[in-house]
A and B are shown apart, each in its own frame.
Chain A
Amino acid sequence: MHNFSVLLKGEMQRLLRYKILQISFVVTLLWLGVLFLIGSEHVGDFVPLFIFMDVSMMTVLLVGANLFFEKQENTLKTLLITPSDFFALIASKFVASLYLGLQSTVFIALFALFMFDVSIAFVWLMMFVLLITFAHTALGFTFTVYVKDFNGLLAFIIFYMFIFAFPSIFYALGILPSSAEVWLMFSPTHASLLMIDFAFGVSVSWWLLVIGSVYLVLLSLFLIRFVVSPKYVETAVRE
């Protein structure tokens, strides 16, 4: 992990300078505004959904935007010719992304708690949010190394959300039998949503949570090892 702390400091400095932190914060404020309008009666249903949107879709989007910015400026390539460990390069970007996810979650959760007295299992929420952001950072990297430009990334994200939304919708509508839920855990979006729901007091069987967590970790590690690592250099060097 040679140079990790220098790299992380750089990432955090750039989150500010490239206004990514600010954009993420404005999006959070938007969620808060919408929650405020929804009012106390239904807010409990929407808080988990908004947190989910922030740590899944926003994470992929911000990771992708960050990588495209850096690719454009050729800085991904420059960092590759420094003595930094390859793993430290990736890890610094992951940690910056985790920070953004946690920050949004904390704001939304505190708002829900103090404005509407929504009950929250904070420790579970933070743990699961870290896991979900981690997985979606890995997905963001994966999508980005496969697409040519930012529009390509947007298309990929929409496609991804669309594909994985279907099974969850069918399940909710009762089209899929309840025994199918274990298979739904293999949809990163379904697993993520279930975990966040759990932190907000929805009863979820523990083994679904275990399957979901293990799956998200394995999926992330698989993507980092077999997709991101081999393709990252190519992405960075391609002009």
Chain B
Amino acid sequence: MKNKVFEVKDLRFRYAKSNVEAVCGISFDVYEGEIFGLLGPSGAGKSTTQKIMTKLFRDYQGEILYYGKDLKTYSNAYYEDLGVGFELPVHFSKLTGLENMKFFSQLYKQRANIETLLDQVGLLEDKDRMVGEYSKGMKMRLNFVRALLNNPKILFLDEVTNGLDPKNARIIKDLIRAFKADGGTVFLTTHLMNDVEELCDRVAFIREGEIVEIATPRALKIKHGNREVRVEYFSNGKTEEAVYDLDGIGENEAFLKLIKDKEIETIHSGETSLDDIFIKVTKAKSDA
């Protein structure tokens, strides 16, 4: 069994001026070396959970263990381990990209090579421009570099591909995978199922501050899919369709005869897309 990086137990949090809990008793573990995705609709409590785990909000209820020890007992040295990518750009607009990175880098003991990182996300040529002149996508890429400045062990990423074109989103996703391949742990929040499909080892769905599902993307697809096989075949000059039960498919004579005799066009098992699962499991309690 892999090491647990985080153990979150019955976590609750209420904003000062609010009378409902933004996070109402969630529990989950994050294992070393995995990419864990927290998914859910807007306002579900994803960013709030991330802010609690990064110790920005400290008066929560419940317990968070970091490598088996209460998070509250860690000093600010905790942040030496962490790379945090916020959902909005976080830079000094009147400093250049490089000046920003140099400033933040000096705050850490471990320092990655800034120019290498900038090069990896395609910002090396723009390093001497004021961040205020960057486009949104450029700022988000700089956010990502900012998160990696201290060679972190754990990456927290909030909507990291937000505002990126497909090419740049691909670059970031490749870097996240490379980070994981080097033994890093990733906690990411998103509502883009595409990212989840490509990146996440395990996902938790959060709805109105509660976790409603937690599993691997594959297990979820199987669980929420129909256990059936849909076959499209060509017969009598047109395309026909037949549906069979997935259970016992190997002994299903009709199915076996069909695939033996007919010209098959497509075969699909009935697992649903993550998009459909997202909509299904995060449907508000009120309209369930």
Which residues of B does A touch, CB under 8 Å?
Answer: 16, 51, 54-58, 76-80, 82, 84, 86, 88-95, 99, 103-104, 106-109, 146
Contact = CB atoms under 8 A, between A and B. Distances in A.
Give the contact-size bracket for chain A: 20 to 34
Contacts of A82: 76, 79, 104, 107-108
A80 B82 CA distance: 12
A18 B94 CA distance: 7
6 contacts: A14-B92, A74-B88, A74-B90, A78-B86, A86-B76, A237-B57
Interface in A11-60: 13-14, 17-18
B160 to A, nearest CB: 15
A77 B51 CA distance: 10
Contact of A73 (B76, B90, B109): B90
A16 to B, nearest CB: 9
Interface string A214-239: 00000000000000000001100101
A10 interface: yes
Interface in A42-99: 73-75, 77-86
B86 A17 contact: no
- Give the interface SS of chain B, mostly helix, strand, loop or mixed: loop
A3 interface: yes
A237 B56 contact: yes
Top-6 shortest CB links A-B: A74-B90, A78-B90, A82-B107, A17-B94, A83-B79, A6-B106
A148 interface: no
Given A2-B76, A10-B103, A81 B91 contact: no
A52 B150 CA distance: 44
Contacts of B77: 83
Contacts of A234: 16
Given A73-B92, A234-B16, 5 more contacts: A3-B106, A10-B103, A74-B89, A78-B84, A82-B104
B58 to A, nearest CB: 8
B94 A14 contact: yes
Contact of A78 (B16, B76, B109, B146): B146
> Interface centre among A3, A80, A85, by most B CB within 10 Å?
A80
B56 A85 contact: no
A239 B107 CA distance: 24
B88 A239 contact: yes
Contacts of B51: 237
A85 B76 CA distance: 7
A232 to B, nearest CB: 11
A6 B105 CA distance: 10
Nearest to A76: B90
Contacts of B76: 2, 82-86
B86 A6 contact: no
Contacts of B95: 13-14, 17
A78 B109 CA distance: 17
A2 B104 CA distance: 14
Contacts of A80: 56
B88 A83 contact: no
Contacts of B88: 74, 239
Interface string A123-163: 00000000000000000000000000000000000000000
B221 to A, nearest CB: 34
A77 B92 contact: no
> Interface centre among B80, B82, B106, B109, by most A CB within 10 Å?
B106
